[in-house]
Amino acid sequence: MASPGELVNKMAEVLGVPQPTVVQHDRHLAVAGLRTRGGRGRSAAKMTPRDAAHLLVAVMGSGAFGMPQAKDTVETLKTVGGLVSLNLHTEHTFKFDKATLPELSSLPERHCFIDAVERLIDCARDGSLVQALLTDGGTREPERWYGTSNIDVGVELPSYGYHTGYSAYIRIDGVNLDAHVMYMHVSPFTYQEKPDEEEIQAWLKRSVTETPPKGDLKQIRKITVRTILALGQLLQDK
């Protein structure tokens, strides 16, 4: 298991983000009760896959155009982490594979992005992700990953002045592994069969704010299996 400081250092190292920036995100999460807390030394908090997922998603989703980096940590985490899965079904798009990734496939059909990221990190922690990837000729060393399977976890930041424009995805490509799940911002009425029209209009009225026109320039932040395996290894019992 890792301490908060060890998690921060590993996150900064593997993502290539300045360590002080990650420290700020971690502090905001701790104050908001979104990171396990403890004492110092031997009594220091032991980080969980949920803690790692919170910090990872907060860092990936922060820094949109004109937005402060760490000050909006909690809001960013709740917005990006709360994106809902679409589970698109086409001949090229599948749910998480039941045979090789049962921990991911057991997620509800409509689950949140943060839950999937947590499961992915936990699979790396307990070794099940490595076993699945090894079936495609990979290596156990994340720094030297060269397998034919790969994992992309991406977050698309909103265009300038369009805060609800976040989206995310998890894509697993390989010989025996195949999944591509999209995560989007949805209204509370998306999955209701007969939503009340007055409630919809009231919700739209509350949601609409005066913002600049949505721009065409977008940022997409993506990590690969290297980050997931590094965080999983860090959280293993020592």
Enumerate long-range contacts of 74-81, CB under 8 Å, 24 or more apart: 74/28, 74/29, 74/32, 74/34, 77/29, 77/34, 77/114, 79/163, 79/164, 79/166, 79/185, 80/113, 80/114, 80/155, 80/166, 80/168, 81/53, 81/54, 81/57, 81/112, 81/113, 81/114, 81/117
Chain-centroid distance of CA 24 in Å reads 18
Strand partners for 222: 154
- Domain range list for the chain: 4-235
Predicted structure pTM score: 0.81
Q: How many residues does the chain have?
A: 238
Q: 80, 57 in Cβ contact below 8 A?
A: yes
Per-residue model confidence as pLDDT tens digits over 196-206? 667 656 655 65
Categorize the per-residue pLDDT at 36 as very low, low, confident or very high, splitting at 50, 70 and 90.
Answer: very high
Quote the tokens at residue 89.
């079904």
Categorize the per-residue pLDDT at 153 as very low, low, confident or very high, splitting at 50, 70 and 90.
Answer: very high
pLDDT at 193 over 80: no
C-beta neighbour count of 143 within 10 angstroms: 9
Chain-centroid distance of CA 140 in Å reads 22
Q: Which residue has the higher pLDDT, 179 or 187?
A: 179
Categorize the per-residue pLDDT at 182 as very low, low, confident or very high, splitting at 50, 70 and 90.
Answer: confident
pLDDT at 145 over 60: no
Q: 79, 59 in Cβ contact below 8 A?
A: no
pLDDT at 142 over 50: no
pLDDT over 90 for what percent of the chain?
35
Task: Say how far apart CA 105 and CA 177 lie, in whole Å.
Answer: 12
